[in-house]
Structure 1
Amino acid sequence: MTQTEIFQFIQDNTLLSASLWVNIALAGLSILLFVYMGRNVEDPRAQLIFVATLMVPLVSISSYTGLVSGLTVGFLEMPAGHALAGAGAGPEGGVFTPWGRYLTWAFSTPMILIALGLLAGSNLSKLFTAVVADVGMCITGLAAALTTSSYLLRWVWYGISCAFFVVVLYILLAEWAKDAEVAGTADIFNTLKVLTVVLWLGYPIFWALGAEGIAVLDIAITSWAYSGMDIIAKYLFAFLLLRWVVDNERTVADMATGLGAASRGGAAPADD
């Protein structure tokens, strides 16, 4: 199918098309809002959190524009054993596969983790591990979606992707939670941690239930599920984080100088 045909297929499905255009509109509004919110931030660490967070809607608006235009969408013939093998939603057969979503996740979710890691006062080793595992999760998820040679191998890739996800969850729930206590940012970090973990768990669930997995959900319903989770896990997450950083820039600055919660408890940092 040509891009024009794919574009027309998307526009003809009102529910599917709306799930993409709504995200583009909200990403654009988020960019303007976040730039305005960060206009007076001066601390370098706070600025870095802002830049990482601002990249999330910037990546999303680019990616969703690619999806709605048909640039990063394809129709794949599913392997034997798949519920949609030999059938398809496209005018020429094949299953609607918006593989561009994985590009969105591969570039935007590391930015979310970088912002969270900086907020928690994480060291570079943990930050690097989280980001690499996250990228691995997205790339192997893409491999699961694009594998058409074997139904079993699709689920093997899915399992590998989930294994990378477990690493990310461990760092979020165990390592960074402790770091945030030391840094004095535990309250906001725990809120964002719960928001992130709960919503991110939804992605593999809807992958398994959607056309890429066992195909019990329609492509438009699956697209809205992904888009809805993106809206909350990215734009609402970013707003909550940036609002807190603006109101607590001094706390972020103390983290950068190595003071953290110690300065608020009255203890002085040890001399090196």
Structure 2
Amino acid sequence: MTQAEVYQAVQDNQLLNASFWANIALAGISILLFVYMGRNVEDPRAQLIFVATLMVPLVSISSYTGLVSGLTISFLEMPPGHALAGQEVLTMWGRYLTWALSTPMILLALGLLAGTNVTKLFTAIVADIGMCITGLAAALTTSSYALRWFWYVISCAFFVVVLYILLVEWSQDAEVAGTAEIFNTLKILTVVLWLGYPIFWALGAEGIAVLDVAITSWAYSGMDIVAKYIFAFILLNWVASNEGTIAGMASGLGPATGGAAPADD
């Protein structure tokens, strides 16, 4: 199908179309709100948290515009063995690009909040990008139904790494940094919502096709709204009100306490 035909197919499906426009509107509002919230933040680490978090709605508004215009959507014929084998199914592959760019920014903000070190932050972000890219591969593979699920398993393996760092490593770092209370709130919010994405993938048209494309799209959009915009508001509101706590951390990545003492000359 041409891009114009894909665009028309999106327009004709009002439920699907609304799932895109809802995020475009909320992303736009979030950008303006977050810029306003961060107008008086002066600490460099707090500013970096704001910049990383602000990138989330900026990426989202760009991505959802690509989806609503038909630019990052394709119709793919499902392979033998799939519930919709032989049928062309609308695949919103642009969502994976969104996640590959926005979720690392969420992890960067969380890592900075937890006062983690560069190694843990790098590991979490790389595993997260790997999760998104292999998820994209699962969605685009039409040669073999089994390989679609194999890509899915690889993506979930990357996800396990991210979950471990969030639930174990960064939780310990946040205790030392003095940000455990807000970090644990955001950690739980993030983990619960992020678990929904592979579940809805498996249930949607790309998996076993229990849910249709529009319902799956609204599930993704709804989770995006909470996992991105509401998450970001809670985080930035706390950072703006507790800038002194953020400023009290070490200038580099890692908590201000518990490090090794400098060697004598």
TM-score interval for Structure 1 and Structure 2 normalised by the shorter chain: over 0.9
Partner Cα separation in structure 2 for residue 73 and residue 257 of structure 1? 43
Could you tell me which residue of structure 2 aligns to residue 218 of structure 1? 212
Confirm whether residue 207 of structure 1 aligns to residue 201 of structure 2: yes
Alignment equivalent of 1:182, drawn from 172, 176, 179:
176
- Which string of whole-angstrom CA distances, capped at 9 and with x for unpartnered residues, describes residues 88-118 of structure 1? xxxxxx1000100000000000000000000
Could you tell me which residue of structure 2 aligns to residue 239 of structure 1? 233
- Which string of whole-angstrom CA distances, capped at 9 and with x for unpartnered residues, describes residues 133-183 of structure 1? 000000000000000000000000000000000000000000000000000
Confirm whether residue 103 of structure 1 aligns to residue 97 of structure 2: yes
Alignment equivalent of 1:158, drawn from 148, 152, 155:
152
Counting only pairs closer than 5 Å after superposition, residues 1-272 of structure 1 correspond to structure 2 as 1-87=1-87, 94-257=88-251, 272=263
Matched positions, count: 262
The Cα RMSD (Å) is 1.6
Partner Cα separation in structure 2 for residue 216 and residue 47 of structure 1? 44
SS for the counterpart of 1:109 is helix
Partner Cα separation in structure 1 for residue 262 and residue 6 of structure 2? 63
Partner Cα separation in structure 1 for residue 25 and residue 165 of structure 2? 32
SS for the counterpart of 2:75 is strand
Partner Cα separation in structure 2 for residue 257 and residue 201 of structure 1? 33
Partner Cα separation in structure 1 for residue 256 and residue 171 of structure 2? 14
Unpaired segments ≥5 residues, structure 1: 88-93
TM-score normalized by the length of structure 1: 0.93
8 A contact 2:114–2:183 mirrored in 1: yes
Matched residue type, 1:99: W
- Quote the offset at 1:270 in angstroms: 5.2
SS for the counterpart of 2:248 is helix
- Quote the offset at 1:2 in angstroms: 1.0
- Quote the offset at 1:4 in angstroms: 1.0
- Quote the offset at 1:256 in angstroms: 2.8
Partner Cα separation in structure 2 for residue 43 and residue 203 of structure 1? 34
- Which string of whole-angstrom CA distances, capped at 9 and with x for unpartnered residues, describes residues 169-216 of structure 1? 000000000000000000000000000000000000000000000000
Partner Cα separation in structure 1 for residue 174 and residue 26 of structure 2? 30
Identity between Structure 1 and Structure 2 (%): 81
SS for the counterpart of 1:256 is coil
Matched residue type, 1:84: L
Partner Cα separation in structure 1 for residue 116 and residue 226 of structure 2? 24
